Structure 1
Amino acid sequence: MSKTTPPPAEFEAEFINGLKTIFEEKIVFNQVLGLKITSLLPDRVAGRIDMKHQLVGHYSHNRVHGGVISACLDAMGGLACMAAIGARHMDEAPEQRLHRFAKLGTIDLRIDYLRPGISEYFDLHAEVMRLGSRVASTRMEFRGADGKLLSTGAGAYIVS
């Protein structure tokens, strides 16, 4: 049985900057949501959105809309796939790895809404559970500023 090389502990700055540009600027809907990357590791990613009036789903309670939660978790699941693909192909130049994301797309998404989305900001986390040659499976979390788990997600993404 051969040993598997563990993924790198960190990405190079060029890859991180390129991925942030794609995620935060080129995916325009992420700009609408105000979604920002806060951590980018090969095995786990994190992001954040600030609550703003445009994201309210229930006006009398100032709750974030469920569609915002779903969209953010979906985006974070995709970002986790990008990080895992980037780690898998560390032998390639950062620019070459960034081009691998053109075919990435959501196949299936499940969201569980556990508590009302009331907070001044929200932290999001995602990790890839399995990265196959064609499909990746992810788990995601949506937490309030106090760290309480508000929603969870599970997604499947086409990666080839």
Structure 2
Amino acid sequence: MSKTTSPPVTAFEPEFIARLSAIFEEKIVFNQALGLKVVELRPDGVVGRIEMKPDLVGHYAYNRIHGGVISAGLDSMGGLAVMAAIGARHMDEPPEQRLQRFAKLGTIDLRVDYLRPGIGSHFELRASVLRLGSRVASTRMEFLGPDGQLMSTGAAAYIVS
């Protein structure tokens, strides 16, 4: 007997993208403070953006973004990538039901490597899930400057149930 598998999910329905983006940008108030916006939401990865503003400066002489903003942004994007992966795993459920699955999501461990000073007008953040288990998910994240240069990397583990 042959086993049939479902084709991989390549895109989410617009309703799911709109609802998850709204939760991420509006309901998570700290993301508002960072100015973190969802640029792309796919089952295999997410992309976000932060515009540089005076509230995010960590080194006044060089107008460098604070390391805590980088860390928090990478953590948030890693969590969003996990939400996307969970959403893709349960595509047979309606969007609202899938959104309820994120209630127990939380960071277990976070590592950030600061490679270059965070100087620029805006920054792009990328994240993808390396492994989504039944209890824990592992992610990889990148923090890029306006020219696409890699400034920081991150790796994190999240509890999912």
Scaled by the length of structure 1, the TM-score of the pair is 0.98
Which residue in 1 is equivalent to 2:159? 158
Equivalent position SS for 1:70: helix
Which residue in 2 is equivalent to 1:92? 93
CA contact (8 A) 1:7 1:88 kept: no
Structure 1: 5+ residue runs without aligned partners? none
Aligned residues: 160
The runs of at least 4 consecutive aligned structure 1 residues that moved more than 6 Å come to none
Which residue in 1 is equivalent to 2:140? 139
What are the within-5 Å matches in structure 2 for residues 69-88 of structure 1? 69-88=70-89
Q: Distance in 1 between matches of 2:157 and 2:139?
A: 6
Structure 2: 5+ residue runs without aligned partners? none
Equivalent position SS for 1:103: coil
Cα distance, 1:2 vs structure 2: 3.7
Q: Residue type matched to 2:107 in 1?
A: T
Which residue in 2 is equivalent to 1:24? 25
Cα distance, 1:21 vs structure 2: 1.0
Q: Distance in 1 between matches of 2:141 and 2:7?
A: 22
Equivalent position SS for 1:69: helix
Which residue in 2 is equivalent to 1:148? 149
What are the within-5 Å matches in structure 2 for residues 116-127 of structure 1? 116-127=117-128
Equivalent position SS for 2:103: helix
- RMSD, aligned CA: 1.0
Q: Distance in 2 between matches of 1:112 and 1:3?
A: 41
Q: Residue type matched to 1:14 in 2?
A: E
Question: Share of identical aligned residues, percent?
Answer: 73
Scaled by the length of structure 2, the TM-score of the pair is 0.97
